[in-house]
Amino acid sequence: MKLTGVELRRIRMPLVAPFRTSFGTENDRDVLLIRVVAEQAEGWGECVAMSDPLYSSEYVDAAADVLTRFLVPALTALPRLDATAVAPALAKFKGHRMAKAALETAILDAELREQGRTLARELGAVHERVPCGVSVGIMDSIPELLDAVDGYLAEGYLRIKLKIQPGWDVEPVRAVRERFGDDVLLQVDANTAYTVGDARHLARLDPFGLLLIEQPLDEEDILGHAHLAKTVRTPICLDESIVSARAAADAIKLGACEIVNIKPGRVGGYLEAKRIHDVCAANGVPVWAGGMLETGLGRAANVALAALPGFTLPGDTSASGRYYRTDITEPFVLDDGHLSVPTGPGIGVAPLPDRLAEVTTASQWLTL
């Protein structure tokens, strides 16, 4: 495939409600999109980095800079450009996995569109729709939390995930169990807010029959998670720690996790995400699709990934309306607790031009 140009586009999308986690509160998303233009087709990629380096070391301005100065120029030197050539060509640049993922996805989208093939088929999807869970932020009060959970269950979400942090953990979980019963699929996500010294406190979550406790400790504390697993009976799931297939293999071998949350942006793209899926499947480790408040572009690709056979737990592939009043693509709408896997070529969706124009804050054309 011959690239003729790359567009970096920044958009600002207000969230329908503030989203609070252990690392901060988000009121709107400043998103970097990449559009690659090739001779026969164009492709889109969404960078999942936040405005500030609070989830990981990446942030949007840094992603735009590293793409402009290093990643996109490195591709122009390639004799043959297709999606499988991107990661090897960018490997010499350390880190910046979210920036690399967005670029690889845009090229993969263009390549698949040119060939008339779907991302789902490329990745090995086996389902036509996927079961969806929802991530519920930290709230100001227990009643407010219960109202939010009530609303999501009424919308049909098949699994509830509660953000937790020290001081907001056992009580919210107990309240949800008391109000909605033991059959609701329930899990928690600490976003690294605890230390291994909190093991006995976290074990107080064991009586509530949670599916998992997500990323309780620092992303680099693999041995801490393995130690925690000896005290806490609830399965440990890792998110921030799993940045590659190798990291997944190491964490599993060290007994640091029994479940993995796969996010293509965090791991450098959908091709590495599939490799992580395969490593986990080979080790009998269930996986589920995590979310980074993506627009319909990233959401479409995540739903395709979530249709692979090893994705046996509902993911954070929520409907567009969970985060945005109006998405930049046709909205993803929950149907009986599921989202349908896109059937069009590539990621199967594209931004609606008028909607994209409304939210665009900047556009930069990189000639090659």
- Active-site annotation, residues: 163, 263
Nearest-CA neighbor of 327 among 297, 292, 303?
297
Asked whether position 172 contacts ligand NPQ by CB under 6 A, the answer is: no
Asked whether position 46 contacts ligand NPQ by CB under 6 A, the answer is: no
Interacting span for ligand NPQ (CB under 6 A) from 118-126, 177-185, 249-257, 291-299: 291-299
Taking the C-alpha atoms of residue 323 and residue 147, their distance in angstroms, rounded to an integer, is 17
| Binding to ligand NPQ in span 201-220, by CB under 6 A | none
Asked whether position 316 contacts ligand NPQ by CB under 6 A, the answer is: yes
280 CB-contact burial (10 Å; exposed 0-12 / middle 13-18 / buried 19+) = buried
The three-point CA angle 288-131-352 to 5° equals 95
Residues in contact with Mg ion by the rule CB under 5 A: 189, 214, 239
The three-point CA angle 232-19-352 to 5° equals 125
Q: Which does 292 bind (CB under 5 to 8 A by kind): Mg ion, ligand NPQ, none?
A: ligand NPQ
Torsions phi, psi for 249 (to 5 deg): -60, -45
Q: Which is nearer to ligand NPQ, 291 or 351 (CB)?
A: 291
Q: Which does 316 bind (CB under 5 to 8 A by kind): Mg ion, ligand NPQ, none?
A: ligand NPQ
The single residue among 30, 58, 104, 189 that binds ligand NPQ, judged by CB under 6 A, is: 189
Give the CB-nearest residue to Mg ion.
239
Taking the C-alpha atoms of residue 155 and residue 41, their distance in angstroms, rounded to an integer, is 37
Taking the C-alpha atoms of residue 263 and residue 300, their distance in angstroms, rounded to an integer, is 13
Binding mask 48-67 for ligand NPQ (x = CB under 6 A): --x----x------------
143 CB-contact burial (10 Å; exposed 0-12 / middle 13-18 / buried 19+) = exposed
Binding mask 2-31 for ligand NPQ (x = CB under 6 A): -----------------x-x----x--x--
Distances (CA, A) of 264 to 47, 222, 305: 10, 20, 9
Helices (H), 254-346: 264-267, 270-282, 296-305
Q: Which is nearer to Mg ion, 131 or 346 (CB)?
A: 131
Query: Closest separation between CB of residue 310 and Mg ion, Å?
Result: 18
Q: Which is nearer to ligand NPQ, 118 or 191 (CB)?
A: 191
The single residue among 22, 105, 118, 135 that binds ligand NPQ, judged by CB under 6 A, is: 135
Taking the C-alpha atoms of residue 36 and residue 275, their distance in angstroms, rounded to an integer, is 24
The single residue among 32, 212, 292, 308 that binds ligand NPQ, judged by CB under 6 A, is: 292
Enumerate binding residues for ligand NPQ (CB under 6 A): 19, 21, 26, 29, 50, 55, 135, 189, 191, 239, 290-293, 316
